[in-house]
Protein backbone atom coordinates (compact mmCIF):
# COMPACT_ATOMS: atom_id res chain seq x y z
CA UNK A 1 0.00 0.00 0.00
CA UNK A 2 1.40 3.37 -1.02
CA UNK A 3 1.39 6.17 1.49
CA UNK A 4 0.17 9.59 0.48
CA UNK A 5 2.43 12.40 1.58
CA UNK A 6 1.53 16.03 1.45
CA UNK A 7 3.93 18.42 -0.18
CA UNK A 8 5.57 20.68 2.34
CA UNK A 9 4.29 24.20 2.63
CA UNK A 10 6.79 27.00 2.40
CA UNK A 11 5.94 30.31 4.01
CA UNK A 12 7.23 33.34 2.14
CA UNK A 13 7.34 36.97 3.08
CA UNK A 14 4.45 39.01 1.73
CA UNK A 15 5.48 40.58 -1.55
CA UNK A 16 3.94 42.20 -4.62
CA UNK A 17 6.53 41.93 -7.44
CA UNK A 18 6.61 45.42 -8.90
CA UNK A 19 5.91 49.04 -8.19
CA UNK A 20 2.32 50.19 -7.95
CA UNK A 21 0.60 53.32 -6.69
CA UNK A 22 -1.15 53.12 -3.35
CA UNK A 23 -4.89 53.43 -4.06
CA UNK A 24 -6.28 53.57 -0.51
CA UNK A 25 -4.78 53.77 2.97
CA UNK A 26 -6.09 54.03 6.51
CA UNK A 27 -7.80 51.97 9.20
CA UNK A 28 -4.74 49.71 9.36
CA UNK A 29 -4.70 48.77 5.65
CA UNK A 30 -3.01 49.78 2.39
CA UNK A 31 -4.66 48.94 -0.94
CA UNK A 32 -2.66 48.68 -4.17
CA UNK A 33 -2.76 46.62 -7.39
CA UNK A 34 -6.31 45.41 -6.64
CA UNK A 35 -5.24 43.84 -3.34
CA UNK A 36 -4.93 44.99 0.24
CA UNK A 37 -2.35 44.56 2.95
CA UNK A 38 -2.93 45.01 6.67
CA UNK A 39 0.03 46.68 8.36
CA UNK A 40 2.99 48.78 7.29
CA UNK A 41 4.59 48.40 3.86
CA UNK A 42 7.92 48.99 2.19
CA UNK A 43 7.63 50.06 -1.47
CA UNK A 44 10.86 49.34 -3.35
CA UNK A 45 11.85 49.13 -7.01
CA UNK A 46 11.70 45.31 -6.66
CA UNK A 47 8.19 45.32 -5.22
CA UNK A 48 5.94 46.07 -2.29
CA UNK A 49 6.64 44.15 0.91
CA UNK A 50 4.96 43.74 4.28
CA UNK A 51 7.11 45.68 6.75
CA UNK A 52 7.18 44.71 10.45
CA UNK A 53 7.22 48.29 11.75
CA UNK A 54 4.37 49.63 13.88
CA UNK A 55 5.65 53.11 14.68
CA UNK A 56 8.23 55.66 13.56
CA UNK A 57 10.33 54.79 16.63
CA UNK A 58 10.96 51.35 15.07
CA UNK A 59 12.54 52.77 11.89
CA UNK A 60 16.23 51.86 12.01
CA UNK A 61 19.01 50.88 9.63
CA UNK A 62 18.02 47.27 10.30
CA UNK A 63 14.35 47.78 9.41
CA UNK A 64 15.49 49.64 6.28
CA UNK A 65 18.03 46.97 5.26
CA UNK A 66 16.10 46.22 2.05
CA UNK A 67 16.23 49.93 1.13
CA UNK A 68 20.01 49.91 1.50
CA UNK A 69 20.19 46.69 -0.56
CA UNK A 70 18.44 48.47 -3.46
CA UNK A 71 20.19 51.84 -3.01
CA UNK A 72 21.51 51.89 -6.58
CA UNK A 73 17.92 52.13 -7.85
CA UNK A 74 16.58 54.63 -5.29
CA UNK A 75 17.17 58.39 -5.38
CA UNK A 76 14.56 59.30 -2.75
CA UNK A 77 13.01 57.46 0.18
CA UNK A 78 9.69 58.86 1.35
CA UNK A 79 9.01 57.90 4.95
CA UNK A 80 5.45 57.98 6.25
CA UNK A 81 5.57 58.02 10.04
CA UNK A 82 1.92 57.34 10.81
CA UNK A 83 -0.44 60.15 11.79
CA UNK A 84 2.32 62.59 12.76
CA UNK A 85 5.77 63.58 11.60
CA UNK A 86 8.65 62.04 13.54
CA UNK A 87 12.35 62.73 13.67
CA UNK A 88 14.57 60.22 11.92
CA UNK A 89 17.87 59.92 13.83
CA UNK A 90 20.77 61.88 12.37
CA UNK A 91 22.92 58.75 12.02
CA UNK A 92 20.27 57.01 9.93
CA UNK A 93 19.86 60.09 7.72
CA UNK A 94 23.63 60.13 7.20
CA UNK A 95 23.67 56.42 6.30
CA UNK A 96 20.96 57.01 3.70
CA UNK A 97 22.83 60.01 2.29
CA UNK A 98 26.08 58.01 2.10
CA UNK A 99 24.17 55.38 0.12
CA UNK A 100 23.01 58.04 -2.34
CA UNK A 101 19.44 58.13 -1.03
CA UNK A 102 17.67 61.37 -0.19
CA UNK A 103 14.98 61.19 2.47
CA UNK A 104 11.70 63.04 3.06
CA UNK A 105 9.83 62.43 6.30
CA UNK A 106 6.15 63.22 6.76
CA UNK A 107 2.89 61.77 8.01
CA UNK A 108 1.77 58.68 6.11
CA UNK A 109 -1.08 60.37 4.19
CA UNK A 110 1.15 63.00 2.54
CA UNK A 111 3.88 60.35 2.09
CA UNK A 112 1.51 58.14 0.08
CA UNK A 113 0.49 61.07 -2.13
CA UNK A 114 4.13 62.12 -2.65
CA UNK A 115 5.17 58.54 -3.48
CA UNK A 116 2.31 58.19 -5.98
CA UNK A 117 3.23 61.44 -7.77
CA UNK A 118 6.94 60.60 -7.98
CA UNK A 119 6.16 57.07 -9.13
CA UNK A 120 3.83 58.41 -11.85
CA UNK A 121 6.64 60.72 -13.00
CA UNK A 122 8.98 57.72 -13.35
CA UNK A 123 11.32 58.87 -10.58
CA UNK A 124 13.54 56.35 -8.74
CA UNK A 125 11.53 56.46 -5.51
CA UNK A 126 10.88 54.15 -2.59
CA UNK A 127 8.55 54.51 0.39
CA UNK A 128 8.55 53.23 3.94
CA UNK A 129 4.96 53.61 5.13
CA UNK A 130 3.87 53.09 8.73
CA UNK A 131 0.27 52.00 8.91
CA UNK A 132 -2.36 54.46 10.22
The reply to whether 78 falls in a domain is: yes
Number of structural domains (the chain) is 1
The reply to whether 21 falls in a domain is: yes
Q: How far apart are CA 102 and CA 109, in angstroms?
A: 19
Question: Tell me: the pLDDT tens digits for 50-99?
Answer: 999 999 999 999 999 999 999 999 999 999 999 999 999 999 999 999 99
Of the candidates 23, 63, 71, 14, which has an alpha carbon nearest to the alpha carbon of residue 45? 71
The reply to whether 7 falls in a domain is: no
The reply to whether 55 falls in a domain is: yes
Helix (H, G, I), strand (E, B) or coil at 121: coil
The DSSP element (H or E) to which 98 belongs, if any, is: helix 90-98
Question: Tell me: the pLDDT tens digits for 27-46?
Answer: 999 999 999 999 999 999 99
CATH number of the domain enclosing 57: 3.40.1230.10
The Cβ-side half-sphere exposure at 121, using a 13 Å CA radius, reads: 9
27: left (phi over 0), alpha (psi -120 to 50) or beta: left
The reply to whether 95 falls in a domain is: yes
The reply to whether 23 falls in a domain is: yes
Domain with 103, as residue range(s), is: 15-129
Amino acid sequence: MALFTRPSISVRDQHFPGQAPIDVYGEGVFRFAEMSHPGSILCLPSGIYGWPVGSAAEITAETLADVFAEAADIALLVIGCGRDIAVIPKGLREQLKESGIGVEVMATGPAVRTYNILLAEGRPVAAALVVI
